[in-house]
Amino acid sequence: MDYTFQFGPLLNYLPQIVSGLWLTVGLSFVGIFGGIALGIFCAVMSTSSSPFPRFLVRLYVEVVRNTPLLVQIFVIFFGLPNIGVRLTPLTSVFIALVLNNGGYVAEIVRGGIEATHRSQVEAGESLGLTYFQTLRFVILPPALEKVFTPVVSQCVLLMLSTSLVSVIGVEDLTGAAMIASSETFRTMEIYLVVAVVYVALNFAFRAVLNLAGLMVFTRLRRRLLGRA
Amino acid sequence: MSVVVAKNIRKSFGALEVLKGVSLTVEGGEVVALIGRSGSGKSTFLRCLNGLESVDSGEIEVAGHGMSRKPAELRQLRRDVGIVFQSYNLFPHLTAGENIMLAPVQVKCMGKDAARAEAKRCLALVGLGDRFEAYPDMLSGGQQQRVAIARSLAMQPKVMLFDEVTSALDPELTGEVLAVIENLARDGMTMLLVTHEMGFARRVANRTIFMKDGVIHEEGPSAEFFSAPKTPELQAFLRSEVG
């Protein structure tokens, strides 16, 4: 093996890589929080007493979870124009990421809601709370607390999946790396650097999400820090 | 004035008829105990009174509200009816104080400060004035049940329903919960309690009702009810409960 590592040529691409990094952060941020919001909404809908919203959510969740994210991106970016909906690459991937994460989060949160005992709902209703108040104050907080760890795992996975957007020409971190690599041929070096950056991003996102969890969930805080 | 009026209540779960025409009137300030074997329909009857179970036929009026299936009307009724469950059903993610404050703030639109003061007053009433900040899992079963009672009291109900509230507690903790209920009785709270504590029913309830097979089998003022049961079924039941 007589390969000589040369990281020097990469320096010229630093601005592109940094702007790609910010785009990756932005895509992840929107995908994660948009997906969490959509997922919670769908999870609530899936516990509805009327069958129609339940069916719609089921259909959505099954479609999202049983198709590759890349195919979803292709359908939105390459497929939709055929029926007259033209979206920019960036808009397409934002939509795809939120929809994708929403489907997974919906399924996780639904589990949390179903694990909340029926007697909790009865206690809330007996106090005169409305359905939405019961949902907001009695059902969702402990449900979300229960599924917090799997939701964080899912969201970190989504962050890594944002790299797929480079395939339709979006210059995220991976996209920027592809350009740098094709122009310098320092393929090994550039992807090694990018890999390290993803690892760092991963830790950063995990830390931010866990911190957010500590702020939102009092019992989590109590377990970790010994106070509420 | 009658606080609870139930006329000829019938209720089935599938093919099983649990209530076969139960009628009961409870006057203001009265304490009524419901006893009977498991499956006799006493808990189901209690749960019908605040709409947790819907009835198949019959009429219910509680605290001046007719029973309704409309959510808004049902909430009006529930504001005036407190219920305490066997398994406490405190909200695990809220402190004792927050558990109590939730309904006054959300349902009665009470200000936070007023609700906090009310929660403290109710906690003091059940002997837990110093546990405002405690989470349910930091409290004993008896303490949790007393918080649950305080949570109901904070809504200033016109009648309180107790559904086997000491059945999950050991004798020592049972005592502290019963003491709280006895205090409420002394203060004139209208109460309906499903219980297996015969001594307590005899001492605190004005009237005791024995349910069997979905009907009221025998009822009477507690003193006579326990000292001179008329039907052989009640005699047998009392013998078995005293052991």
For the segment A180-213, what is each residue's pLDDT rounded down to a tens digit?
888 888 889 899 999 999 999 999 999 999 999 8
Nearest neighbour of A119 by CB, restricted to B89, B102, B151: B89
Confidence grade of residue A222 (pLDDT, cut at 50, 70, 90): confident
Q: Name the band, by pLDDT with cuts 50, 70 and 90, for residue B242.
A: low
pLDDT digits (tens, 9 = 90+) for B98-146: 999 999 999 999 999 999 999 999 999 999 999 999 999 999 999 999 9
pTM of the model: 0.86
ipTM above 0.85, yes or no: yes
Task: Tell me the chain B residues in contact with residue A141 when contact means C-beta distances shorter than 8 Å.
Answer: 93
Q: Which of left, alpha, beta for A158 (phi over 0: left; psi -120 to 50: alpha)?
A: alpha
Give the model confidence (pLDDT) of B136-190 as tens digits.
999 999 999 999 999 999 999 999 999 999 988 888 899 999 999 999 999 999 9
Residue of B nearest to A144 (CA): B93
Contact A129 B107 (CB under 8 A): yes
E-strand stretches of A158-198: none
**B45-85 pLDDT, tens per residue?**
999 999 999 999 999 999 999 999 899 999 999 999 999 99
Q: For residues A112-137, give the mean pLDDT.
A: 93
Number of CB pairs, chain A paired with chain B, less than 8 A apart: 64
Would you state the pLDDT for residue A152?
95
- For A63-98, what is each residue's pLDDT tens digit? 999 999 999 999 999 999 999 999 999 999 999 999
**Burial level of A167, CB count in 10 A (0-12/13-18/19+)?**
middle
Average pLDDT over every residue of A31-40: 97
Give every strand in the sheet of B31-35, ordered side by side. B81-84, B159-163, B190-194, B31-35, B207-212, B215-221
- Whether B103 sits inside 8 A of A122 (CB atoms) is no
Residues contacting residue B171 through CB under 8 Å, at least 6 positions apart: none
Q: What is the pLDDT of residue A4?
A: 81
- Contact between A151 and A36 (Cβ < 8 Å): yes
pLDDT computed for residue B243 by the predictor: 55
Whether chain B has a CB inside 8 Å of the CB on A225: the answer is no
pLDDT mean over A21-44: 96
Across B214-222, average pLDDT: 94
Q: Does A226 touch chain B (CB under 8 A)?
A: no
**Res. A225: pLDDT tops 80:** no
CA-to-CA distance for B42 and B209, rounded, in angstroms?
Answer: 9
Asked if residues A36 and A155 have their Cβ atoms less than 8 Å apart, the reply is yes
**pLDDT confidence of residue A201:** 95
Tell me whether residues B83 and A138 touch, CB distance under 8 A.
no
Q: Using the beta-carbon criterion (under 8 Å), do B71 and A130 form an inter-chain contact? A: yes
Q: Give contacts of A126 with chain B, Cβ < 8 Å.
A: 50, 52, 78, 81-83
Interface residues of B toward A, Cβ cutoff 8 Å, are: 50, 52, 71, 75-76, 78-79, 81-83, 85, 87, 89-93, 95, 102-103, 106-107, 133, 135, 151-152, 155
When CB atoms are compared, the residue of B71, B78, B91 closest to A138 is B91
- Return the domain boundaries, chain A: 12-225
Q: How far is CA B167 from the centre of its chain?
A: 13
**pLDDT in the model for residue A137:** 94
Question: Does the A12-225 domain belong in CATH 1.10.10.10?
Answer: no
Whether A184 contacts chain B with CB within 8 A: no
